Amino acid sequence: MAFLLRRLAFYLAAFLVAATINFFLPRLMPGDPIQIMFASAGSELSLENLNALKLTFGFIDAPLHEQYFAYLQSVFTGDLGRSIKYFPLPVTELLGRALVWTVGLMGIATVIAFTLGSLLGVFAAWRRGRLIDSVISLTAIFSSSVPAVVVSLIMLFVFGYTLGWFPNGYAADPLIDPAWNWEYISSVLYHGTLPMLTLVFVLMGGFAVTMRNNMINLLGEDYIVMARAKGLSDNNVMLWYAARNALLPTVSSLAIAIGTVLGGSLVTEVVFNYPGLGNTLYQAIIARDYPVIQGQLLIMTAAMLISNFVVDLSYVLLDPRLKKA
Amino acid sequence: MKLFAQLLQNKKAMTGLVILTIIILVAIFAPLLTEYSPVKRVGRPHQAPSWDHWMGTTRLGHDVFSRLVHGARVSLAVGFGAGLLITLIGTVLGIIAGYKGGVVDEVINFFTNMVLVVPNLPLLLVLAAFIGQASPLVIAIILGLTSWAWGVRVTRSETLSIRQRDFVKSAEMLGEPGWRIMLFEIFPNLISIVGINFIGSVIFAVITEATLEFLGLGDPNTVSWGIMLYNAQNAAALAVGAWWDILAPCFALAFLGLGLALINFAIDEIANPRLRTGGMLNRWTRMVRLGEGKL
Amino acid sequence: MTRTSWIAAASVVALLAAAPAQAQDASGNVLTLASEQTTTFVRNFNPFGQTSARYTTLDFMYEPLVVFNRLKGNEPHYRLAESFELADDLMSITFVLREGLKWSDGEALTADDVVFTYDYIAKFPALDFISIGAQLESVEKVDERTVTFHLKEANSLIANTIVGMPIIPEHVWAEIEDPVTFANENPVGSGPMTEITRFTPQVYEQCANPHYWDADNLDVDCLRMPQLADNPQVLAALADGTLDWATSFIPDIDNTFVAKDPEHHKYWFTPSSLVSFQISMVTPDENNRKAFNDVNFRRALSMLIDRQTIVDIAGYGYPLVNDDPASLGELYASFANPEVEAQYGQYGQFDLEAGMALLDESGYVDADGDGFRDNPDGTPIAIDIMVPNGWTDWIDAVQIAMESLSEAGLNVKMSTPEAAVWTSGLIAGEYSMTLNALASAANPYFPYIRSFNPNDFGKSRFTAPHWENEELSALLAEYTQIKDPAEAKAVMDQAQMIVAENMPIIPVYNSPSFYEYNTSRFTGWADAENPKYSPVVSNANPARLLQLLDLEPVE
């Protein structure tokens, strides 16, 4: 219990620090968003437009500490302001739309990669020394050392452009209305296949290797020998005795993985033009859409903190040794 | 050193080292491998691979092969430079935290956890965007300064377990100063961890540099594999069918990644013999059956 | 199962996030177009929102008083107004509205709405995106259909500016408390397409105005705008025939677009904004400043720029070379002064030898033996060409230019700061050399006054060179006070000679206005054989309204 409380206190402190950094970051940046919009619109906007824009977005000149407290207040009440590029859409709504796609894509990809990777790792560990172990290990090494951007581009090239089996962008066919019917859902699945495969490939390797190593470290343990001596089937021992215990450290790596997930899907989303959080952040950075950049960094940090806390919680539940602390 | 000798015997390590050596040699001897300058227009835009241009030309008419071999220099430099910085910071902080314990440990831990909690790539993205045209040197520095946290954790936990060993205790009782113990007693036992950490950091740095440049946050004046991807993407290479423009840097990056990862896996295997695969495992298993160590 | 339920959840959220779905669906003659690139549609049809409103708001939803046809010497096409007249003293202009005009909700459109609009923007200056308020003394309602604008200063070109302000309905906007953040989700408009029948973040449809005054001329029932995030996505939609009308950069267009359906896939690029190399007369580096303020140095630079290659490679051949020393080029051909070409034409031509010779003659030789040319007094010249990060076609153009500049012995390099930093640098004159773009306009008066007006130094990036000329300023001031076209031409001719003689900016090319279209569902498109007006469907071209009215469905 004390353990949990200490962690909670830490997370709150971390969040506060993140919010503060978040506040100062855009103010340290050169240039302001009005100038960017002005510059990005090419020569379409004139001097006259500029003045009108400045008035519209009202860049306040209040003293810094006042701005800071107002900012903190708005953060804790969930008001992340309005996007500049998509004015007057609130940041929360913009991120909400993107969140669905990222959670869907990344969430599912991570789950599949974790399951697949772990199973492969378990299998490789169980059959170590044989050919299948070498094959799995080498494939895992390879998939985790190739940049996601490379895998995405190659997938896009082979399956998107050359073979034309899958579409080259979007979450779904834009001319189909979002609805709970097969037409839309199948379009979503169809469009999501390539990015999903890319992400699974990239993530799988890490999980497989970790699981394999953990398993191997456990295999010599007495309780495994005991289980085998009892006459339990290979699979039974593999899954219910070895794997279950190897799971613990893997779960903690899962929490770290969520951070990688949020970042790792970014390039894939950009390459496949998938309207997820990563793509949104990228577009916001290019457009210097401060409210969106700030909001997103904050939300990502919060997500990391929460997932870390959940892992801590599960640790306490899974590992009886910690319950006492 | 014993580790190195074992490394040479390991098939994976050998393959990895060979790959790495090829790439390093290509980078060093780049100007000798091609007659074309990587930044001059030497052909028509988007020419397909031919005898004149082994890997074709880019949108601007630059020779792709020339850019590839010259680009290896930057990609390797940033990879190893940033990797070194990350490992250095991570190891030093990790050893200090693990050895000293107490307040020092708490403080270092706090900052480490803080840094770990912020998602890496988005933060780098924002930083790189703020800086504007991030030259490879700048990219290496910001990579180094933001990515050391994982290394600290790993190093620290290893240090903690070594710390309790007899030879450390005896050194303390003999009155050796702390820094000597950390440097000469503890550090040598961490070599394989540090090695893995280093190679892992290099892989991470190479991947991240390529990603940042691909997203357009690098310096377009540089010749590196990431910038090649960026140029190809902007020239809509895939859409217009100029596959060589984008696949050349892709394969180069994959190749380098593979080499490094093989070395890394091998180090892990050597450090922990039970992780070995294939022939190496059989050899070791035989040794165990003859009476040494736990299977 | 997991995957499907996730997708289902996603669909539900997307549904909830979007506006309530409309019952009716788009039917009849539907024109699919793409006039903006964005990752998601926000339901904002506020005609004053220059960067936040949907790009089909102006012109299609809120019809202008008059549309001036730039391709036919500024010929007026009367829309909401049936006529206008400039007073003899040029201090006022009177517009007469047509009879029987109605808003899309059936209410009458009268002079009251016009007066209301101008009072409104005076009350909320943030809405005045063309800065018309500063030029007006007052707006007077003469009768139900007639409005007179009284100007603060005589201005012969005022009509062009006034028509840029959309007219809004008083009965709707009088009650809006904060028009700046008002999203105008259910707009009441005066143009041909005012009814929003479907709106989701991925697509929206805008259908015909039931009370449109010119309905007889309109054959399109609905506009459909699919969400497209960038050029490759637009290309994909064009290539597979989904889009009828678009305005995007397409690489290698003959192969990637036309080839997919040569009979129906067409394009026509017309020259638009001017892209030119500019050097700062007030650059911080003193040594550079000496060179930059010497007209011979500027002329030599101009002769060292290979415009054709830049157009061919960096621009895929789409832009139009501009080698006019007076920087007007083809775009303003009807205003051109032939003397300019005769006397200064050679300074706009790419000629490596001549450029180097001019540098030699003027004393710019390598004085200290470092391989680079220096000032006549021996001090070094180091040029840093600055372009915004990410603007790849400009970066390519600069790299090509650097090749010939280096060959001529000049010390040049390129830097690519963030667009905001670049803009601030230009505004302050704190740069050495850059590429800059200037919007095209109806009359060469506008580019000249925007670029060379000392009153605008430090306010916008268009005065980046910080170059001024007293005689030129006097001529430009005179220009707007003249009513007689012959007199005006004489003044403009003289202005051109001054600019050409001094070459304060080095024109390179006129960017193309992109215009791609598909003739399989609609015909009546403007093209090279029939350049009736500019058919570009972008937000900055009111003539797109004329194109919409000319379209007829293929039977």
Measured between beta carbons, the chain A residues lying within 8 angstroms of B235 are none
Nearest to A129 among B120, B277, B294 (CB): B277
In this prediction, residue A96 has a pLDDT band, given cuts at 50, 70 and 90, of confident
How confident is the model over A122-147, as a mean pLDDT? Answer: 82
Say if residue A88 is preceded by a cis peptide, omega within 30 of 0.
yes
Residue C465 has pLDDT above 90, yes or no: yes
Chain B interface test: which of A15, A29, A149, A203 (most B C-beta within 10 Å): A149
Half-sphere exposure for C12 (CA within 13 Å, toward CB): 6
Secondary element (H or E) of residue C434: strand C433-438
Which of A204 and B281 is assigned the larger pLDDT? Answer: A204
Interface of B with A in 132-171 (CB under 8 A): 132, 150
Cα(C539)–Cα(B211) distance, integer angstroms: 34
Q: CA nearest C235 in B: which residue?
A: B239
**Do B122 and A281 lie within an 8 Å CB cutoff?**
yes
Structure tokens at C238: 């064009």
Q: CA nearest A31 in C: which residue?
A: C420
Most confidently modeled of A92-101, A179-188, C13-22? A92-101
Residue C483 has pLDDT above 90, yes or no: no
Beta bridge partners of C31: C223
pLDDT above 90 covers a percentage of chain B that reads 22
pLDDT score, position C10: 45
How confident is the model over B124-134, as a mean pLDDT? Answer: 75
pLDDT score, position C383: 94
In this prediction, residue A260 has a pLDDT band, given cuts at 50, 70 and 90, of low
**Do A148 and B207 lie within an 8 Å CB cutoff?**
yes
pLDDT score, position A134: 80
Which of C347 and B191 is assigned the larger pLDDT? Answer: C347
Residue B32 has pLDDT above 90, yes or no: no
In this prediction, residue A259 has a pLDDT band, given cuts at 50, 70 and 90, of low
Cα(A141)–Cα(B265) distance, integer angstroms: 8
How confident is the model over C446-473, as a mean pLDDT? Answer: 89
Residue A317 has pLDDT above 80, yes or no: no
Measured between beta carbons, the chain C residues lying within 8 angstroms of A168 are 232, 236
Measured between beta carbons, the chain C residues lying within 8 angstroms of A32 are 420
pLDDT score, position C308: 94
Residue A325 has pLDDT above 70, yes or no: no
pLDDT in tens, A25-50: 766 666 565 665 555 544 445 556 56
Chain B interface test: which of A146, A282, A289 (most B C-beta within 10 Å): A146
ipTM computed for the complex: 0.80
Beta bridge partners of C204: C199, C225
pLDDT score, position B275: 63
pLDDT score, position B226: 92
pLDDT in tens, C361-384: 999 998 888 889 999 998 999 999
pLDDT score, position C25: 47
Identify whether the C-beta of residue A293 lies closer than 8 Å to the C-beta of residue B126. Answer: yes
Cα(C189)–Cα(B287) distance, integer angstroms: 87
Secondary element (H or E) of residue B253: helix B243-271
Nearest to B220 among C231, C416, C421 (CB): C416
Compute the nearest-CA separation of A166 from chain B (Å): 14
Interface chains of chain A (3 or more CB pairs under 8 Å): B, C
Nearest to A150 among B116, B250, B264 (CB): B250
Which of A122 and A81 is assigned the larger pLDDT? Answer: A122
Measured between beta carbons, the chain C residues lying within 8 angstroms of A272 are none
pLDDT in tens, B164-203: 888 888 888 888 887 888 888 788 888 888 888 898 899 8
What residue spans define the domains of chain B? Answer: 2-289
Q: Residue C361 CB: number of other CB atoms within 10 A?
A: 11
pLDDT score, position C333: 85
pLDDT above 90 covers a percentage of chain C that reads 62
Query: What's the whole-number average pLDDT of chain A?
Result: 75
pLDDT score, position A8: 84
Query: What is the fold, at CATH topology level, of the domain defined by B2-289?
Result: MetI-like fold (1.10.3720)
Which of B176 and C432 is assigned the larger pLDDT? Answer: C432
Q: What is the DSSP string of A16-34?
A: HHHHHHHHHHHHHSSS-HH
pLDDT score, position C19: 33
pLDDT above 70 covers a percentage of chain C that reads 95
pLDDT score, position A59: 46
pTM of the model: 0.80
pLDDT score, position B156: 86
pLDDT in tens, C125-135: 888 888 888 88
Beta bridge partners of C512: C271
Secondary element (H or E) of residue C517: strand C516-518
pLDDT in tens, C101-121: 999 999 999 999 999 999 999
pLDDT score, position A54: 57
C95 in helix, strand or coil? Answer: strand
pLDDT score, position A252: 64
Cα(A288)–Cα(C357) distance, integer angstroms: 46
In this prediction, residue A231 has a pLDDT band, given cuts at 50, 70 and 90, of confident
Is B293 in the A-facing interface, judged by CB distances under 8 Å? Answer: no
